[in-house]
Structure 1
Amino acid sequence: MNFTRKVRAAAVQISPVLFSRQGTTEKVLESIDKAAQMGAELVVFPETFIPYYPYFSFVQPPVLMGKEHLRLYEEAVEVPSPVTEAVSQAARSHQIVVVLGINEREGGSLYNTQLIFDADGTLALKRRKITPTYHERMVWGQGDGAGLKVVDTAVGKLGALACWEHYNPLARFALMAQHEQIHCAQFPGSMVGQIFADQMEVTIRHHALEAGCFVVNATGWLSPEQVAEITTDEKLQKALSGGCCTTIISPEGNILHPPITDGEGIAIADLDFALITKRKRMMDSVGHYSRPDLLQLQVNSSQWAVVSGGGDLPTPPYGHPSEEGIFSPLYKPG
């Protein structure tokens, strides 16, 4: 593991092209090109950015959101598909690692999915948000532990979580235990108001300190015109404002680029991996500061399926310690 390198990272705050998978994808490709021109080796986009975050579910009751939910189905992204191929080609062309949030469609279900493309265009990780939050449960299905994985990439060991997954300390610890060097965080943005941005900053700075890693955080943004497209109710429009905090945090909890809180923009910072060692020398949560004789985490890292390979119903998995100090299941469905 290289602790002496430096990596230039970019976090993109951007608005989608509402109701258009193609339009939003084109904006992603343009932003990858911009980030690459700025010397970025890693670029992170907001949560479920293609085609757009389901803001409708936050301001409409379930009985009224059927039309918008179906429209999201039509514009959602399959993996693989022309969208993922286009992003893969852009990553490969610019030799840049891309972390992208999508609404993924698989059959009759949608998922909040994070994709990590390595600099050679390879899809290094596809993970699904393990528990959709509040209103999101009417939109997306649940992910599984197979996505709680840190992957080796051209810029180092990357982990990723979406939005309020950062309030699940065990999910964060599962990534910390795999020694993530850069944590890629994604939030929707343009929701709830300034309090959401304030809480977000506290959350990502805390993870950087606790994990001893860099955090690259990207949030989406809606223009006033887009908010009016989502709802004409002025009271509800207030719920679709603020909540943006696109920034980059060091392992010591310092802000490396002033948070972008309004409008579109790209946060850029150089990540000096020597700061990881500097932080962990003082406090390594999964090393000399841990107490595995007292506290351990068990992780079911199986990718679950509705049918197992042998035709039998899956049975609860039980784990044993792996070499990395986290728990892995004995049973893996076919």
Structure 2
Amino acid sequence: MPTTYRIAAVQAEPVWLDADATVEKTIGLIEEAAAQDVALVAFPETWIPGYPLFLWLGAVAGQMPYIARYHANSPTVDGKHLTAIRQAARRTGVTLALGYSEKDHGSLYMAQSLIAPDGDVLLHRRKLKPTHVERSLFGESDGSHLKVVDTPLGRLGALNCWEHLQPLTKYALYAQHEQVHVAAWPAFGLYKGLAYALGAEANMAVTQTYALEGGCFVIAPTQVISERGIETFATTDEQRALLTPGAGSSRIFGPDGTPLGKPLDEQAEGLIVADIDLSVIDLAKNAADPAGHYAKTDATRLLHDDRPKSAVVRPGQAIGPHFPDLPDLDEPLADDVVS
């Protein structure tokens, strides 16, 4: 396992509500990362088909024109869009952390998949509890989705957005000795100047804190909003006033909380790139290992139920949701699959 390699956080605008076009853009960003010798690249929360900004812009009745379109452009884990991205990972040899709206029959989930450089899915998870109005569109997951996995790049884990405000959720990953963490965020141009908690400063602060608390590297990708994005979701002047162009704030932090890489302008698209050395994690944890020598188990402990839960349990069947068989990447893609 290499201890030094290059990582990247995406800062870009999705092609809103268009899975085909966003997958095409995704593959271009993967190829850009490969050209810069990046070993691991991370994409924002619900990158495909873009964060559903319409949820925050008015009454539920006004959201109805977007719902069917959002469902139709939400990938399945075994569908053509994820297959095309898995093939891009294998073609370029890059490990990916992909955020997307996952469609599972009639339900949507805020999903993250960690894809190996051979195209295998190393980790598939869903946001435990969508935040505020997100719960009107997305379902919840369970403790089995709090998992850190061993990879050739070290022990990798991921969370979405305000899961980073949940101390027990974070501690469940710290206790699995995470070395590189993906903190996936949407754009921060929503209610800018009106709600500090939704802004970049507060949310990048909790991301930096995650790196310091966990003694790990953190990759924090974000989305960008352009005027095109605002016009996609805002139909009134009042709604336009709630969205601000730009808002990209992607960052990378070291295990002592140090910012790494060169940030982009908030309206720019591209990659934040940094070279990391996993061996410095030992130095950080020598001072404070929250699930190791700095824990106080006689005073506080976390109960983490990591058993998968299912709505239906049949006699003789394993408990937990079924993960579908993924397509063979050696099979040619259908004509309508993004390539």
TM-score for the superposition, normalised by structure 2: 0.89
Question: Which residues of structure 2 form unaligned runs of 5+?
Answer: 322-339
Are 1:295 and 2:300 counterparts?
Answer: yes
Choose which of 259, 262, 277 in structure 2 pairs with 1:255.
259
Give the match's secondary structure for 1:259.
Answer: coil
2:248 corresponds in structure 1 to 244
Q: What is the deviation of 1:262?
A: 2.4
Give the match's secondary structure for 1:240.
Answer: coil
Q: What is the deviation of 1:171?
A: 0.6
Choose which of 15, 18, 26 in structure 1 pairs with 2:16.
18
Are 1:108 and 2:106 counterparts?
Answer: yes
Q: What is the deviation of 1:119?
A: 1.6
2:40 corresponds in structure 1 to 42
**Bigger RCO of structures 1 and 2 (CA < 8 A, at least 6 apart):** 2
CA distance in 1, matches of 2:152, 2:84: 19
1:32 corresponds in structure 2 to 30
1:151 corresponds in structure 2 to 149
CA distance in 2, matches of 1:333, 1:56: 32
CA distance in 1, matches of 2:76, 2:68: 15
2:184 corresponds in structure 1 to 186
Give the match's secondary structure for 2:312.
Answer: coil
Choose which of 228, 232, 254 in structure 2 pairs with 1:229.
232
Q: What is the deviation of 1:310?
A: 2.1
Contact 2:23-2:81 within 8 A present in 1 as well: yes
Q: What is the deviation of 1:258?
A: 3.6
TM-score for the superposition, normalised by structure 1: 0.90
Question: Which residues of structure 1 form unaligned runs of 5+?
Answer: 313-330
2:202 corresponds in structure 1 to 199
Change (3 A) 1:259 1:193: farther
**Equivalent runs, 1:44-83 vs 2, <5 Å:** 44-83=42-81
CA distance in 2, matches of 1:116, 1:278: 27
Moved more, 26-35 or 114-123: 114-123
**Equivalent runs, 1:163-174 vs 2, <5 Å:** 163-174=161-172
One-letter identity of the residue aligned with 2:201: D
Contact 1:192-1:243 within 8 A present in 2 as well: no
CA distance in 1, matches of 2:40, 2:237: 38
CA distance in 2, matches of 1:272, 1:121: 24
2:290 corresponds in structure 1 to 285
1:93 corresponds in structure 2 to 91
Give the match's secondary structure for 1:116.
Answer: strand
CA distance in 1, matches of 2:298, 2:93: 43
**Equivalent runs, 1:118-133 vs 2, <5 Å:** 118-133=116-131
How many residues are paired up?
A: 314
Give the match's secondary structure for 2:206.
Answer: helix
CA distance in 1, matches of 2:183, 2:159: 6
One-letter identity of the residue aligned with 1:255: P
